[in-house]
Amino acid sequence: EADIYQTPRYLVIGTGKKITLECSQTMGHDKMYWYQQDPGMELHLIHYSYGVNSTEKGDLSSESTVSRIRTEHFPLTLESARPSHTSQYLCASSAQGWQPQHFGDGTRLSIL
Amino acid sequence: GIQVEQSPPDLILQEGANSTLRCNFSDSVNNLQWFHQNPWGQLINLFYIPSGTKQNGRLSATTVATERYSLLYISSSQTTDSGVYFCAVKQTGANNLFFGTGTRLTVIP
């Protein structure tokens, strides 16, 4: 199975806090993605990156931001968490070309 | 954007039964993946299958790209097969996978 890691696995935190969700992969993949998934629903892309210093917004609007300073690292940040941000966030990566995406285990975020 | 429809939305099986899950998509794709999301939310790659047929143990999948559908077969189902099965596709030139709404499978002993 692919080597892509997300931390924390679960996070319960109060409104107004700054949050960073970590995602790292050891496969040297250029492409990385963040998806958001509400309970019982499908995944929607919120951010993607095709390489270092490249980030783009996905199909679903999100108040989060991302950065890609190193190939292996693609953190997602919420400057001021709100209850509406409660969801599961999944990170994925893929090689160049028509290659499958590999997913991390996700972070379940609950904002009180 | 591309439409991805999965059927059935819910399925309850007795342990040992076989099942077929379907994924229809509305446009040409160059990537199709089947995933199993377990009760803990982890998304497990089952197949990368933009066309053709693949088998992995009790699971197999077939994609007929010209007719814009894919099928996932589960044979001799086990309780550990329970969860949500997602089909996801990527159009040529698109940036990401579009996910269907999933089939929720419950296997009862």
pLDDT digits (tens, 9 = 90+) for B29-59: 989 999 999 988 899 999 999 999 999 999 9
Q: Which residue of B has its CA nearest to A34?
A: B96
* Mean pLDDT score, A80-102: 92
CB nearest to A42's CB, from B42, B50, B86: B86
Q: Does B101 touch chain A (CB under 8 A)?
A: yes
For residue B8, whether the previous peptide bond is cis, meaning omega lies within 30 degrees of 0, is: yes
**Residue A57: pLDDT above 80?**
yes
B96:A103 CB<8 A: no
Buried b vs exposed e over B68-103: b needs ≥16 C-beta within 10 Å?
A: bbbbbebeebeeebbbbbbbbbbbeebebbbbbbbb
**Residue at token pair 């999100």:** A62
What is the pLDDT, as a whole number, of residue A50? Answer: 93
Residue (of A78, A57, A53) closest to A68 by Cα position: A53
Residues 18 through 37 of chain B touching chain A, CB cutoff 8 Å: 30-31, 33, 35
State whether residue B65 is helix, strand or coil.
helix
Q: Which residue of A has its CA nearest to B49?
A: A100
Distance from CA of A79 to the nearest CA of B (A): 25
pLDDT digits (tens, 9 = 90+) for A60-79: 889 999 999 999 999 999 99
B96:A43 CB<8 A: no
Distance from CA of A18 to the nearest CA of B (A): 24
Query: Out of A65-74, A80-89, A94-103, B98-107, which region has the weakest mean confidence (pLDDT)?
Result: A94-103
Cα A53 from Cα A105, distance rounded (Å): 25
What is the number of other CB atoms lying within 10 angstroms of the CB of residue A71? 16
What is the pLDDT, as a whole number, of residue A39? Answer: 87
The structure tokens listed for A24 are: 């790292």
* Mean pLDDT score, B79-84: 96
Chain B residues with beta carbon closer than 8 angstroms to that of A106: 41-43
